[in-house]
């Protein structure tokens, strides 16, 4: 199945449409103004053809979104050529070179790229034939120099120039689209992984805020609040709609969200003034989850009575949030738990922010969060300006190549002042060709220097004593330097270009006024021809930029939306497979506890089993996590099947997914199978060089596994060692068993 044009090609087609529509409109407006001026003196046939051409070309411009509309617009220009051959009047008012050049240029970028040289040759033949008939209604101007062959050569080269530029740009655009198609797979994997992590964290928070906190609440009290318990166990496992939204929410609503939480109500205090700023809706939700989790941790685990929140915007684009409490604080070196680790990870990865944990002013915990106010990325296509610039300036540079012949004709007039003007024009020609071939944006100083010669050329010719017969030499020089200036200005920044065009236009007007009023038509037409190219040039470049930007942004948005939708479906399936049974059982059990007002020992034991299973499942993404947390999950599931609860702390590791030796899993299952004894505690962490699992167990479990205090055992590349006796908070004797393995890079892991 054939694939439609990619975003680069579509943007280039939009640039072509803008150039053709603008060029046709500008030429028609100029001819209408000139035609209105000479209307009483031209023939009825000329009037009718002018009206018909304007109507056809205007209709084509309005239908320009369709390529057939562009063909119609160019056909309207072609009708104007009939004005030259059909019943011409004796009034010189038609710019013959322009009437041939514009349709030729536009046809060269509408036909297949291989046909452009034939269009150029045909345009040259047509111009030579029309001029050979010596029409009486044409402003001859440059056609009088060298028998008109220089003008013919300019039209041919200009058409070839724009045709070659179009072919080059089209080839580049198609190649860029092909490259985009080739790398889209890798890009999709990256974006899918990012969206998956975001959706997974969002689902983790939902379960943690409802089921896990509720289980911990039931296990911590003798009599439960039935109404609160019923509210807490309402949980939805489906990941929320993803992708950064454009909607904004006030930062002040974050504090309101904390105060709305049933655990934090009447405990949240605002320190200082909340800045009147807004954050993107997706960013707001991540921050809300983080602040609620931090506040709940302070109250439920730290015994805090008050949670202080302050916000500030000390630097442009950054929001700083401080959360502190008067509770017990965090243990030094402790790894964040499931909920807190999840929300702080989201701050770092989803919002590109940062966080720090410390001690607050009241001795409790303090967390500092810094995030950008807007997490949106704006895609801008690099080189978008260059597409419009090259397409417009290529014919100008190509025409200037034969402009040296006009310079030679000017110098032959013999005035010293004319020689200076000719030298300036020659420098302008060389400059223009070099700038367009180079295809790079000019700095302000370089642009001002390079525009000096074409802008000064008309001024160097002002003081000469011009005669009417010399208009045919001065007019092409004026037109040539104007085109050269526009080409250089197109590759410069705004203000140097505006200044250069203004200086040239003032000099060109002064030069035009040097000629007697009855014979300045050719020079006036040259001035008008150069000014006519300005809107074509500016609008084409501007449309090119906008088209490339819109195409890139739209392409990125569509790609991300599709990836987000597909990823959310996969995450939902994984969550359902991992958690649905355990969460559903926990919710049913909690509903029963709410109905009876308390939990018996059997219910408490079952809740402990489910708590470990849910905590392990929540922290192990089956597609994105490392191998060690996966082992923890399978060990916890097997222990729960045997009736042994496991206290699961935070599970963090590298992405090393190499499977562990089967003997390690069997050893760990025996280690945590405590029966009616105190449950084992497990935690996973990494230092970047090694992944570690830490199991805190009672001494009798060592005997069951054949381990001894201080022993170190090697199973493949996995080291199992029993650390010295430790004294936990409850005063019971416990041992720490550490399982370690060196981390391998992802590429090395994939090859195993």
Question: In terms of Cα–Cα distance, which of 240, 244, 241, 242 is closest to 203?
Answer: 240
pLDDT exceeds 70 at position 428: yes
Residue with structure tokens 């310079």? 407
The pLDDT value given to residue 409: 84
Collapsed DSSP state (helix, strand, coil) of residue 539: helix
Phi, psi (rounded to 5 degrees) for 35: -60, -40
Give the span between the Cα atoms of 703 and 735, in whole angstroms.
12
Q: Assess whether the region 247-375 and the region 625-752 belong to the same CATH fold.
A: yes
The stretches of 597-699 forming alpha helices (DSSP H) are: 601-618, 627-641, 662-672
* All structural domains of the chain with their residue ranges: 7-183+381-556, 247-375, 625-752
State CA 585 to chain mean position distance: 44
Give the span between the Cα atoms of 537 and 532, in whole angstroms.
9
Average pLDDT over every residue of 618-636 = 77
Give the span between the Cα atoms of 608 and 611, in whole angstroms.
5
Give the span between the Cα atoms of 740 and 685, in whole angstroms.
10
- pLDDT tens-place string over residues 84-136: 887 778 888 888 988 999 999 999 999 998 899 999 999 999 999 999 988 98
Return the number of other C-beta atoms located less than 10 Å from residue 87's C-beta.
14
The pLDDT value given to residue 376: 42
The pLDDT value given to residue 207: 66
Length of the chain: 752
The pLDDT value given to residue 555: 61
Q: Which pair of structure tokens corresponds to residue 86? A: 């059909």
- pLDDT tens-place string over residues 736-747: 899 999 987 654
| Domain covering 625-752 assigned CATH 3.30.565.10 in the classification | yes
Grade residue 675 by pLDDT with cuts at 50, 70 and 90. confident
Share of the chain above pLDDT 70, in %: 78
Phi, psi (rounded to 5 degrees) for 380: -125, 125
Pairing of strands 307-312, 268-270: parallel
Do the Cβ atoms of 402 and 150 come closer than 8 Å?
yes
- pLDDT tens-place string over residues 12-27: 888 888 888 888 888 8
Grade residue 50 by pLDDT with cuts at 50, 70 and 90. very high
The pLDDT value given to residue 438: 85
pLDDT exceeds 70 at position 242: no
Residue 401, burial from CB neighbour count under 10 angstroms (0-12, 13-18, 19+): middle
Give the span between the Cα atoms of 9 and 544, in whole angstroms.
11
The pLDDT value given to residue 244: 44
Question: In terms of Cα–Cα distance, which of 594, 674, 716, 618 is closest to 201?
Answer: 618
Give the span between the Cα atoms of 528 and 504, in whole angstroms.
13
pLDDT exceeds 50 at position 2: no
Q: Which pair of structure tokens corresponds to residue 460? A: 């160097």
Average pLDDT over every residue of 224-230 = 70
The pLDDT value given to residue 57: 93
Collapsed DSSP state (helix, strand, coil) of residue 8: helix
State CA 423 to chain mean position distance: 47
Give the CATH number of domain 247-375: 3.30.565.10
- Between the alpha carbon of residue 525 and those of residues 145, 512, 531, the distances in Å are 16, 10, 10
pLDDT exceeds 80 at position 532: no
Share of the chain above pLDDT 90, in %: 15
State CA 413 to chain mean position distance: 58
The pLDDT value given to residue 380: 37
pLDDT exceeds 60 at position 377: no
Grade residue 55 by pLDDT with cuts at 50, 70 and 90. very high
Q: Which pair of structure tokens corresponds to residue 358? A: 């410390």
pLDDT exceeds 90 at position 185: no
- For 680: left if phi > 0, alpha if psi spans -120 to 50, otherwise beta; the answer is beta
Do the Cβ atoms of 192 and 567 come closer than 8 Å?
yes
Collapsed DSSP state (helix, strand, coil) of residue 354: strand
pLDDT top residue among 140 and 280:
140
Q: Please list, in sequence order, all residues whose beta carbon lies within 8 angstroms of the beta carbon of residue 372, skipping any fewer than 6 positions away.
A: 283, 317, 318, 319, 351, 352, 353
Average pLDDT over every residue of 370-396 = 63
Stretch among 164-178, 268-282, 562-576 having the lowest mean pLDDT: 562-576
Q: Please list, in sequence order, all residues whose beta carbon lies within 8 angstroms of the beta carbon of residue 186, skipping any fewer than 6 positions away.
A: none
Q: Which pair of structure tokens corresponds to residue 664? A: 């390690």
Q: Which pair of structure tokens corresponds to residue 599? A: 């939990």
Q: If you average pLDDT over every residue of the chain, what do you get?
A: 80
**pTM for this one?**
0.54
pLDDT exceeds 80 at position 418: no
Question: In terms of Cα–Cα distance, which of 597, 572, 472 is closest to 525?
Answer: 472
């Amino acid at each position: 199945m054939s694939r439609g044009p990619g975003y680069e090609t579509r943007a280039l087609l939009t640039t072509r449409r803008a150039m053709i529509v603008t060029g046709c409109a500008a030429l028609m407006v100029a001819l209408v103004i000139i035609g209105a001026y000479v209307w009483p003196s031209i023939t009825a046939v000329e009037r009718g053809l002018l009206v018909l051409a304007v109507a056809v070309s205007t209709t084509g411009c309005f239908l320009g979104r369709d390529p057939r509309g562009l063909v119609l617009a160019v056909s309207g220009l072609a009708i104007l050529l009939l004005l030259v051959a059909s019943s011409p009047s004796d009034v010189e008012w038609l710019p013959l070179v322009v009437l041939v050049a514009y349709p030729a240029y536009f046809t060269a970028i509408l036909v297949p790229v291989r046909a452009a040289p034939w269009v150029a040759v045909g345009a040259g033949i047509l111009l030579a034939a029309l001029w050979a008939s010596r029409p009486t209604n044409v402003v001859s101007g440059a056609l009088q120099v060298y028998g008109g062959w220089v003008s013919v050569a300019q039209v041919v080269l200009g058409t070839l120039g724009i045709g070659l530029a179009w072919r080059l740009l089209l080839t580049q655009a198609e190649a860029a689209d092909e490259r985009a198609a080739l790398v889209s797979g890798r890009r999709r994997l990256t974006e899918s992984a990012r969206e998956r992590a975001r959706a997974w964290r969002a689902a983790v928070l939902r379960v943690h805020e409802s089921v896990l906190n509720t289980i911990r609440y039931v296990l911590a009290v003798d009599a439960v609040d039935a109404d609160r318990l019923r509210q807490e166990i309402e949980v939805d496992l489906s990941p929320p709609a993803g992708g950064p939204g454009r909607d904004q929410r006030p930062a002040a609503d974050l504090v309101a969200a904390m105060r709305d939480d049933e655990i934090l109500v009447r405990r949240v205090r605002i320190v200082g003034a909340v800045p009147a700023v807004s954050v993107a809706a997706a960013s707001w939700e991540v921050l809300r989850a983080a602040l609620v989790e931090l506040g709940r941790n302070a109250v439920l685990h730290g015994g805090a009575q008050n949670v202080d929140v302050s916000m500030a915007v000390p630097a442009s684009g950054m929001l700083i949030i401080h959360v502190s409490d008067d509770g017990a604080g965090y243990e030094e070196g402790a790894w964040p738990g499931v909920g807190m680790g999840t929300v702080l990870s989201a701050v770092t990865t989803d919002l590109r922010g940062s966080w720090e944990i410390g001690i607050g002013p009241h001795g409790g915990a303090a967390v500092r969060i810094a995030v950008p106010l807007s997490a949106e990325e704006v895609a801008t296509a690099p080189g978008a300006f260059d597409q419009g610039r090259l397409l417009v300036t290529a014919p100008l540079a190509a025409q200037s190549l034969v402009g040296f012949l006009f310079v030679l004709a000017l110098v032959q007039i013999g005035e010293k002042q004319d020689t200076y003007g000719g030298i300036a024009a020659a420098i302008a020609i060389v400059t223009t060709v070099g700038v367009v071939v180079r295809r790079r944006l000019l700095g302000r100083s370089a642009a001002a220097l390079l525009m000096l010669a074409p802008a000064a050329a008309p001024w160097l010719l002002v003081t000469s004593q011009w005669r009417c017969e010399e208009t045919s030499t001065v007019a092409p020089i004026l037109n040539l330097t104007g085109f050269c200036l526009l080409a250089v200005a197109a590759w410069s920044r705004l203000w140097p270009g505006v200044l250069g065009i203004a200086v040239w236009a003032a000099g060109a007007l002064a030069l035009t006024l040097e000629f007697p009023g009855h014979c300045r038509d050719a020079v006036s037409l040259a001035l008008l021809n150069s000014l006519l190219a300005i809107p074509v040039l500016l609008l084409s470049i501007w449309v090119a930029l906008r088209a490339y930007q819109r195409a890139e942004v739209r392409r990125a948005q569509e790609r991300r939306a599709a990836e987000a939708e597909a990823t959310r479906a996969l995450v939902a399936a994984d969550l359902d497979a991992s958690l649905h049974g355990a969460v559903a059982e926990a919710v049913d059990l909690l509903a029963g506890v709410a109905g009876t007002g308390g939990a018996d020992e059997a219910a408490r034991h079952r809740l402990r089993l489910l708590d470990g299973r849910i905590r392990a499942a929540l922290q192990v993404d089956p597609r994105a996590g490392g191998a060690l947390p996966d082992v923890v999950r399978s060990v916890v599931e097997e222990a729960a099947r045997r009736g042994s609860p496991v206290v699961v702390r935070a599970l963090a590791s590298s992405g090393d997914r190499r499977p562990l030796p089967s003997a390690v899993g069997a050893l760990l299952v025996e280690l945590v199978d405590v029966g009616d004894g105190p449950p084992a505690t497990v935690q996973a962490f990494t230092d970047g060089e090694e992944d570690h699992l830490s199991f805190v167990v009672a001494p009798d479990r060592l005997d069951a596994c054949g381990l001894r205090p201080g022993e170190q055992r090697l199973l493949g590349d996995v080291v199992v060692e029993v650390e010295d006796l430790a004294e936990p908070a409850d005063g019971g004797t416990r041992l720490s068993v550490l399982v370690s393995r060196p981390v391998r890079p992802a590429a090395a892991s994939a090859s195993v």
